[in-house]
């Protein structure tokens, strides 16, 4: 993990709020804490090599794999968000989002397909590692604003930089690559604007019959920090309008994107995990 990434995750929000002398102290602490954590950053794992000794993982369901690789999409996980130094002796598993039962419902019929999968907001790559074993013929693209955190490598996995809050970044790093995906998972910042532009820009990159998943769909309505200086409606309200066949408008969507989505989506379903909601949007064949 680079110093810049360490700062973004663990210090930026505190430094932004701090007054002058506290800022100086926090910057000093940042350098010390980063040096300490250097000894606890995990090394990259080559999944192609790992699979040779753990071939049984290809036969496991998504519940097992998400928990095995410590993804919060599963049922239980070890909290992965504290600094590595603070996680060193933590083995107790806590309740995770519990989305895996919904993933299993949609993914099971696609298990053996040759396809591309995109996860936006890959973080450490825990979910991507699980998907690698679940979809043994798929290529996994893990996209994140901090790709240096991604701790897995493989001939079937690619870690890429994407800022999900930037149209330019999405266009340059995903759309411009001319790659289509059978599955797209949006699990990045969860902010109001980012959820909307990710879906409506990338829906064209989804294969016919493909699935687009938005996690923590309810964050913008439940958390003020996810909608500061951003204009309603949130994505959840937009999708409800689409289901009810009501018109909607958003400053984050242009007419072509709106028309394309309305003409090409097949179904929209909402699901409630242990804490938050997710949406599953299926594209027409």
* Tokens 């979809």, located at residue: 135
* Tokens 């909601």, located at residue: 277
SS (H, E, C) 171-240: HHHCHHHCCCEEEEEECCCCCHHHHHHHHHHHHHHEEEEEEEEECCCCHHHHCHHHCCCCCCCCHHHHHH
Q: What is the value of pTM for the model shown?
A: 0.95
Q: What is the pLDDT along the chain (285 residues), one digit of tens a residue?
A: 999 999 999 999 899 999 999 999 999 999 999 999 999 998 999 999 999 999 999 999 999 999 999 999 999 999 988 999 998 888 899 999 999 999 999 999 999 999 999 999 999 999 999 999 999 999 999 999 999 999 999 999 999 999 999 999 999 999 999 999 999 999 999 999 999 999 999 999 999 999 999 999 999 999 999 999 999 999 999 999 999 999 999 999 999 999 999 999 999 999 999 999 999 999 999
Q: Is 185 exposed, middle or buried (0-12, 13-18, 19+ CB in 10 A)?
A: buried
Note the pLDDT of residue 219. Answer: 97
The string over 92-120, giving b where at least 16 C-beta atoms fall within 10 Å of a residue's C-beta and e elsewhere, is: eeeebbbbbebbeeebeebeeeebbbbbb
Give the three-class secondary structure for 47.
helix
What domains can be seen in the chain, in order of their start residue? 3-37 (no CATH), 45-283 (3.40.50.150)
* Tokens 């909307």, located at residue: 196
Give the residue ranges of DSSP H helices in the chain. 3-10, 12-17, 20-37, 47-53, 62-68, 84-87, 100-107, 126-134, 167-173, 192-202, 219-222, 235-243, 255-264
Element (H, E) at 94: strand 94-95
Give the three-class secondary structure for 74.
coil
Q: Which of 143, 170, 139 is nearest to 159 (CA)?
A: 143
Note the pLDDT of residue 88. Answer: 83
Task: Provide the 10 A C-beta neighbour count for residue 266.
Answer: 13
| Structure tokens that stand for 67 in this block | 């928990």
């Amino acid at each position: 993990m680079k110093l810049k990434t360490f700062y973004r995750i663990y210090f930026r929000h505190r430094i932004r709020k701090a007054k002058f002398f506290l800022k100086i102290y926090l910057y000093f602490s940042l350098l010390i804490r980063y040096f300490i954590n250097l000894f606890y950053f995990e090394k990259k794992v080559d999944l192609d090599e790992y699979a040779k000794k753990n071939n049984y993982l290809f036969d496991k369901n998504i519940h097992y794999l998400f928990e095995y690789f410590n993804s919060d999409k599963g049922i239980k996980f070890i909290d992965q968000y504290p600094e590595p130094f603070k996680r060193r002796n933590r083995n107790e598993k806590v309740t995770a989002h519990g989305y895996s039962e919904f993933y299993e419902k949609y993914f099971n019929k696609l298990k053996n397909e040759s396809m591309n999968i995109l996860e936006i907001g890959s973080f450490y790559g825990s979910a991507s590692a699980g998907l690698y074993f679940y979809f043994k013929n798929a290529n996994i693209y893990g996209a994140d604003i901090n790709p240096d955190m991604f701790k897995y490598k493989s001939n079937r996995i690619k870690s890429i930089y994407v800022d999900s809050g930037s149209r330019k970044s999405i266009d340059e790093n995903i759309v411009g690559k001319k790659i289509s995906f059978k599955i797209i998972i949006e699990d990045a910042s969860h902010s109001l604007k980012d959820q909307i532009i990710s879906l409506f820009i990338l829906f064209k990159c989804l294969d016919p019959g493909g699935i687009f998943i938005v996690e923590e769909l309810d964050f913008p309505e439940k958390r003020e920090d996810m909608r500061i200086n951003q204009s309603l409606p949130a994505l959840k309200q937009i999708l409800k309008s689409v289901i009810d066949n009501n018109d909607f408008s958003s400053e984050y969507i242009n007419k072509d994107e709106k028309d394309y989505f309305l003409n090409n989506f097949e179904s929209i379903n909402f699901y409630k995990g242990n804490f938050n909601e997710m949406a599953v949007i299926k594209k027409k064949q």
